[in-house]
């Protein structure tokens, strides 16, 4: 998943982006970062906790995130902002995706505060690097270590409490491509169709029952109204 704004940020700006997002209420937004094999670039991945389901093992020694997310690398470790772009511009690139990170995760934010303080001195977190296998994260430019990120599974059912507008914005990241295409067919249908609230109620049902989405048009009816149902695989 591309975010052309974040890709222009240096390491300090990436950390400050997450810090600002936490302050704005996106406390479930997380970071995986480490060094490239040649040690010349700091690599980063940003993702919402809910997509982790029950597995955070990749945060221990992984060098990738096992689902689509914004990512990038930088060789600029200066502890100052240089980009001409704002955090709001970065959010707009993946607004629906970042909405998945709305909510409280105070323990993670407390843990992340050490990363924020270290970044002010040009030190950035390393979870992975060539031949790096340890029981803690470390930092560039500083030998101190911090424990692995705290993690308690976040039920995907919490997304069912989103507003209708927020829910529609995150659907492409929750369901498979087939379900997302079925929903899009309903939303773009030119004939009679349910209103957005009715559509969102079906989406909430699908989330709770861990099902997919399917559309249906009764071509034998006079109205040829399209409908959406919770059906199949999530």
Strand partners, 136: 147
Instruction: Please name the residue ranges forming H helices in the chain.
Output: 11-23, 58-61, 87-93, 95-99, 106-119, 164-174, 177-187, 196-209
Q: Is 226:215 a contact under the CB 8 Å cutoff?
A: yes
Q: What does each of the 234 residues of the chain score in pLDDT, given as a tens digit?
A: 899 999 999 999 999 999 999 999 999 999 999 998 888 899 999 999 998 877 788 888 777 888 889 999 999 989 888 888 999 999 999 999 999 999 999 999 999 999 999 999 999 999 988 755 567 899 998 889 999 999 988 878 888 888 999 899 888 888 888 999 999 999 999 999 999 999 999 999 999 898 999 999 988 888 888 999 999 876
> Tens of pLDDT along 183-220?
999 999 999 999 999 999 999 999 989 899 999 998 88
Q: What pLDDT, on a 0 to 100 scale, did the predictor assign at position 131? A: 59
What pairing do the DSSP bridges indicate for beta strands 42-48 and 71-74?
Answer: antiparallel
Integer Cα distance of 72 and 76 in angstroms: 12
Contacts for 105 with CB less than 8 Å, ≥ 6 apart: 27, 28, 49, 154
Q: Is 171:180 a contact under the CB 8 Å cutoff?
A: yes
Q: Is 12:119 a contact under the CB 8 Å cutoff?
A: yes
Strand partners, 215: 228
């Amino acid at each position: 998943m591309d975010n052309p704004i974040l890709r222009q940020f240096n390491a300090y700006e990436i950390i400050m982006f997450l810090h600002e997002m936490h302050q704005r209420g996106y406390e479930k937004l997380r970071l995986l970062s480490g060094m490239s094999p040649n040690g010349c670039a700091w690599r980063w991945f940003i993702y919402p906790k809910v997509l982790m389901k029950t597995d955070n093992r990749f945060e221990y020694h992984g060098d990738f995130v096992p689902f689509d997310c914004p990512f990038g690398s930088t060789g600029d470790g200066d502890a100052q902002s240089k980009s001409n772009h704002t955090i709001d511009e970065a959010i707009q690139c993946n607004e629906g995706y970042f909405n998945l990170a709305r909510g409280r995760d105070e323990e993670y934010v407390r843990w992340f505060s050490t990363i924020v303080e270290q970044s002010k001195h040009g030190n950035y977190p390393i979870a992975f690097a060539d031949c790096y296998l340890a029981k803690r994260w470390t930092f560039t430019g500083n030998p101190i270590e911090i424990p692995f990120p705290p993690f308690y599974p976040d039920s995907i059912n919490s997304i069912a409490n989103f507003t209708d507008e927020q829910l529609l914005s995150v659907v492409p990241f929750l369901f498979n491509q087939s379900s997302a295409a079925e929903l899009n067919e309903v939303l773009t249908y030119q004939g009679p169709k349910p209103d957005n609230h009715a559509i969102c109620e079906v989406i909430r049902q699908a989330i709770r029952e861990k099902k997919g989405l399917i559309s249906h048009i009764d071509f034998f009816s006079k109205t040829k109204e399209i409908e959406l149902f919770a059906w199949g695989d999530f």
